[in-house]
A and B are shown apart, each in its own frame.
Chain A
Amino acid sequence: AQRVTQPEKLLSVFKGAPVELKCNYSYSGSPELFWYVQYSRQRLQLLLRHISRESIKGFTADLNKGETSFHLKKPFAQEEDSAMYYCALTSGGYQKVTFGTGTKLQVIP
């Protein structure tokens, strides 16, 4: 069975401070991992995926297969980063999606 764990329900940081949102996964095969973001009163949207290895809005995430982690990082938090963040995993030939429970990021001005 596949599982995604986001240990923090709420993460509060000051503006300009580094941010790290934790995501650990459990899956026996080769997973594809994603971060989704939901800003207040907006739709859930893809932030980034590990395959593309891109940096979106200053956020990066590295897949660490040894630690089965896919933590989301940003060196300097901005107020507009305040949102709900979900880590997700898809797997297998017939893909299923498993989401973590989400972490609410609150950036304090």
Chain B
Amino acid sequence: KAGVTQTPRYLIKTRGQQVTLSCSPISGHRSVSWYQQTPGQGLQFLFEYFSETQRNKGNFPGRFSGRQFSNSRSEMNVSTLELGDSALYLCASSLGPLGQETQYFGPGTRLLVL
């Protein structure tokens, strides 16, 4: 089986812009979770989508949003980018809802905000 893929792998944006990141889960997986990883804050949970519905959300501002399509692919959008949004964004997929099944992580998208 192909693993979790994320596009693009690297991205450079400027403050105030918006960005959309994409995550394609392993075939058959219905849950996609997103995480932000920074040297200062470590790995932080953003949100999880299961069967096109957001199940839960971490403590991030409303500028961070996402969605999931009927084929389980997911996108994450960050509007009005700030310098502090520079991070590695990871997505992970699993067969079932978060916590019930093993998560498989993608390689990440590295976002740099200038």
Q: A interface vs B, CB < 8 Å?
A: 32, 43-46, 49, 86, 88, 90, 94-102
**In the complex, which of the residues A44, A90, A96 contacts B105, with contact meaning CB atoms closer than 8 Å?**
A44
Interface contact B107-A97, CB-CB below 8 Å: no
Render B103-114 as a binary contact track against A, CB cut-off 8 A, 1 for contact.
111110000000
Would you call A95 and B56 a contact (CB within 8 A)? yes
Write the chain A residue with the least CB distance to B92.
A44
Which residue from chain B places its CB closest to the CB of A89 in the assembled complex? B99
Binding site for A on B (CB under 8 A): 3, 33, 35, 42-45, 48, 55-56, 58, 90, 92, 97-100, 102-107
A96 contact from B42, B56, B102, B107, Cβ within 8 A: B56
Structural contact, A99 and B48, CB atoms closer than 8 A: no
Given contacts A95-B97, A97-B99, A99-B35, 17 further A-B contacts (CB under 8 A): A32-B99, A43-B3, A43-B105, A43-B107, A44-B90, A46-B103, A90-B98, A94-B55, A95-B55, A95-B99, A96-B58, A97-B33, A97-B35, A99-B42, A99-B43, A100-B42, A102-B43
Complex CA gap A73/B105 in Å reads: 24
**Which of A45, A46, A94, A102 is in CB contact (< 8 Å) with B42?**
A102
Chain B residues with CB under 8 A of A99 = 35, 42-45
Contacts of B92 in A (CB 8 A): 44
A1 to chain B, nearest CB (A): 9
B98→A95 contact, CB < 8 A: yes
Q: Which chain B residues border A43 with CB–CB below 8 Å?
A: 3, 105-107
Question: B42 — which chain A residues lie within 8 A by C-beta?
Answer: 99-102
B98 close to A97 (CB less than 8 A): yes
CB-based closest 6 A-B pairs: A95-B99, A99-B43, A90-B99, A44-B105, A94-B56, A95-B98
Q: How far is the CA of A49 from the CA of B103 in the complex (A)?
A: 11
Q: Residues of B contacting A45 with CB < 8 Å? A: 104-105
Query: B45 near A98 (CB under 8 angstroms)?
Result: yes
Docked complex Cα distance between A86 and B45 (Å): 14
> Closest CB of chain B to A89's CB: distance in Å?
10
